[in-house]
Amino acid sequence: MNTEAIIFDFGGVLLPVDYEAVVKAFAALDPDGNAHAYTQQKQLPLFDAFERGEMSPAEFLRELQNLFPRAAERQLLDAWNAILGQMPEARLLLLEKIRRHYRIFLLSNTNAIHAAHFEEQFRQRFGRLPDTWFDAVYYSHECGFRKPEKAIFDLVLLENNLNAGRTLFFEDTFANIQGALQAGIPSVFVNIPEGRYTEQYFDTENGSLNTNVLETELLLP
């Protein structure tokens, strides 16, 4: 495969996330309530709508308050942001090496609250926002689409004049890969619970793809 561009998922593939932390945080707010309203594999329509930018943060928080009526707004924000971990600096250094060989893009199902949180973390720790490491960044709440919808992959391809067959997509939620495959993009499922992680797919010294690993794990349209 002659790869020219790479599209990275953000949460999981690059930024560590902890879905169980959200469940625990919500459970602490309301032990008898809706602690499992949000998971990696399945979530209420409320969260999908927020990730598409169909509601403002204030509207989202009001809806969240209905799910957890005993919680204060600050508690809801802290619980919602509990999913987000700290970006490893070594992973950002790897991205800089990868960018020497390929055009790289970020494609994330996210929302205005999470984006504000991780952007502030980047600003404080690195003095830069995430978009400075990529040729372009696509957040679902700004696009109006979310993975696995084929439209969001088509958007990235079209706006950047990418050849789908020469583009590679890295994702840690298997359902989201289906949209990429429908758009003609070869993909890699980074199965984090099974011990896979992003660095295994690259030569960490120079940033080129590890073709030996890709040969066994590449999913083709």
pLDDT-based confidence at 45, cuts 50/70/90? confident
> CA neighbours within 13 Å on the CB side: how many for 133?
26
Which pLDDT belongs to residue 38?
Answer: 54
Kindly state whether residues 62 and 109 are assigned to the same domain: no
pTM of the predicted model as reported, rounded to 2 decimal places: 0.93
Kindly state whether residues 127 and 184 are assigned to the same domain: yes
- CATH, residue 24: 1.10.150
The parent domain of residue 56 ranges over 19-81
- As separate numbers, helices (DSSP H) first and strands (DSSP E) second, the chain gives 10, 6
Kindly state whether residues 100 and 113 are assigned to the same domain: yes
- Does the pLDDT of residue 68 top 50, yes or no? yes
- Does the pLDDT of residue 74 top 50, yes or no? yes
Which pLDDT belongs to residue 31?
Answer: 66
What is the number of structural domains in the chain? Answer: 2
SS3 of residue 9 by DSSP: coil
Kindly state whether residues 103 and 150 are assigned to the same domain: yes
Q: Cβ(32)–Cβ(131) under 8 Å?
A: no
How many whole angstroms separate alpha carbon 175 and alpha carbon 186? 14
115-156 pLDDT per residue, tens? 999 999 999 999 999 999 999 999 999 999 999 999 999 999
Kindly state whether residues 11 and 24 are assigned to the same domain: no
- DSSP output for 138-159: EEHHHHT--TT-HHHHHHHHHH
The token duo for 63 is 């809806």
